[in-house]
Amino acid sequence: MVEKETDKFSAGEQGLGYIYQGRLALLRLLQLPEDAAVFIEKDDDLDFIDTEGGKSLASLKHKAIGDKLTDLSTDFWKSVNIWLVRYKRDGLAASNMQFFLFTTGTVSTDSFLTRFLPELASSSSHEATLAELATATLSRSKSKLITPIAAAFNELSDSAKQDFLERILILDGNPRISDIPAIIREKHMRSIRREHRQFVLERLEGWWTDAVIKQLTGARPEGIFGHEVSDKLSNITEEYKTDNLPITFRGKVPASEIDTDADPRLFVKQMHEIGISSNRIRSAILDYYRAFEQRSAWARENLLVSGEVEEYEDRLAEEWSRYRDVVFEKLSDDSAEDALREAGATLYNWAEFETGKIESLRIRARVTEPYVVRGSLHILADTTPEPRVYWHPRFIERVYKVLGVAS
């Protein structure tokens, strides 16, 4: 078997560790009471705060498969070094801190570190104290990394050593970064239909990543609370109910630059025909883009019932035709161009500002996002060879004339 070569300058493992922090923090908040809060990279990898002000510092280690923690593992003692500084800073025994080491590895069965595992930490049947075991272990080390940690530890009194060590828990065998999504889906999304869980999780993680970035950059100085995760998960889930659809393109813009003058699409030409301003045409292009991409996303996620979009477009086209008949009713064959353009603008204004208020024009009862209706009307205005929706009273005639000349 050929061993995988690694680049000594690669930051892949370190980068994976940073991503692991955020993902494990999300999982832990889902497991903890909703009033718990988390900080990323504050006093430790993760700081958990409860409602009574108690603080738990967590060091995270995403290790290779099969990795073991032994008496002098640097993963443990480097975490101890961080915790010692915080413990001394906060008044030793008077502090309200607990310390956790989350590792994907496991504690070696012949190591005194097994005493920090939850199942053994509370036992009172041990002959030697944690302080005695730790002092003896550190005395055996000649490591340049561990020597200053041992010196800092030995500054504590025997009682302080014991108090400090009794605050530590090692949670080994933690899920690897790639395993966490499945755990969240299977254990924390049971109220969500199975076929929707992955899409709900992707959106939850998108929101979560943004919250973490804001915290790390200082834009969000407060912790991220468990109830925020619950509320966001609930809100996203609501969009996957039978009378609703998820809205995921609000505020999105196309990758290419918008050029209202050079855009060749039929729905854009239609707006030029009735004198719509460039700013409004730009808004229409955004509505078209968002509605089109939103429909595609719904289709990819299998959220649409067979024929649902077609039936929705039929409803839009019928409502448009009814209002068109009212607006164009007083026009005649010899109406001036100004009158034609004014009537087209009136019809367009109705489509832009009034259709969103009509409940029967929603694709589903709780889908109230304006770009869905507006963009869908523009999609109908862009169908070829003949648009199903138009604004200028003579637009269809002019289209036929152009096609006739072309042929």
Residue 391: per-residue pLDDT? 98
Residue 237 resides in a domain = no
Given a cut of 50, is residue 358 above it in pLDDT? yes
Of the residues 193, 222, 245, the one at which a domain ends: 193
* Dihedral, CA of residue 184, residue 188, residue 192 and residue 195, to nearest 10: 20
Cis preceding-peptide flag for 385 (omega within 30 of 0): yes
Residue 53: per-residue pLDDT? 86
Residue 335 resides in a domain = yes
pLDDT tens column, 207-238: 999 999 999 999 999 999 999 999 999 999 99
Residue 190: per-residue pLDDT? 94
Given a cut of 60, is residue 404 above it in pLDDT? no
pLDDT tens column, 323-347: 999 999 999 999 999 999 999 999 9
Distance CA 391, CA 353 (A): 14
- In a shared domain, residues 50 and 141: yes
- For 273, the domain range is 266-406
Alpha-helical segments (H) within 354-406: 370-380, 395-406
Given a cut of 80, is residue 401 above it in pLDDT? no
- In a shared domain, residues 182 and 326: no
Given a cut of 60, is residue 406 above it in pLDDT? no
Global pTM exceeds 0.75: yes
- In a shared domain, residues 39 and 137: yes
Closest CA to 80 of 149, 132, 137, 21: 149
Given a cut of 80, is residue 268 above it in pLDDT? yes
- In a shared domain, residues 284 and 149: no
- In a shared domain, residues 287 and 174: no
Residue 292: per-residue pLDDT? 98
Of the residues 193, 211, 227, the one at which a domain ends: 193
Residue 364 resides in a domain = yes
Q: Tokens 């999304």 identify what position? A: 189
- In a shared domain, residues 134 and 270: no
| Phi/psi-derived region of residue 379, left when phi > 0, alpha when psi is between -120 and 50, beta in every other case | alpha
The angle subtended at Cα 64 by Cα 210 and Cα 117, nearest 5°, is 85
- In a shared domain, residues 163 and 302: no
Residue 3: per-residue pLDDT? 41
- Domains: count for the chain: 2
Q: Where residue 7 falls among pLDDT bands split at 50, 70, 90?
A: low
β-partners of residue 224 are 38
Residue 20 resides in a domain = yes
Q: What percent of the chain has pLDDT over 90?
A: 89
Residue 209 resides in a domain = no
Question: At residue 94, what is the residue type?
Answer: A
Residue 4: per-residue pLDDT? 44
**Which stretch of DSSP H or E encloses residue 59?**
strand 55-61
**Quick one: average pLDDT of 139-162?**
96
DSSP state of 223: P
Of the residues 134, 168, 193, the one at which a domain ends: 193
Cis preceding-peptide flag for 221 (omega within 30 of 0): no
Residue 82 resides in a domain = yes
Residue 303 resides in a domain = yes
pLDDT tens column, 90-103: 999 999 999 999 99
Residue 48 resides in a domain = yes
b/e map 387-402, b = 16+ CB within 10 Å: bbbbbbbbbeeebeee
- In a shared domain, residues 282 and 166: no
Distance CA 48, CA 37 (A): 6
DSSP class per residue in 92-141? GGG--EEEEEEESSEE-TTSGGGGGSHHHHT----SS-HHHHHHHHHHT-
Residue 74: per-residue pLDDT? 95
Residue 405: per-residue pLDDT? 47
Question: At residue 158, what is the residue type?
Answer: D
Query: How is residue 335 written in tokens?
Result: 């109406």
Residue 10: per-residue pLDDT? 46
- In a shared domain, residues 36 and 175: yes
Given a cut of 70, is residue 125 above it in pLDDT? no
Residue 121: per-residue pLDDT? 67
- In a shared domain, residues 80 and 188: yes
- In a shared domain, residues 48 and 157: yes
> What mean pLDDT value characterizes the chain?
93
Higher pLDDT, 17 or 98: 98
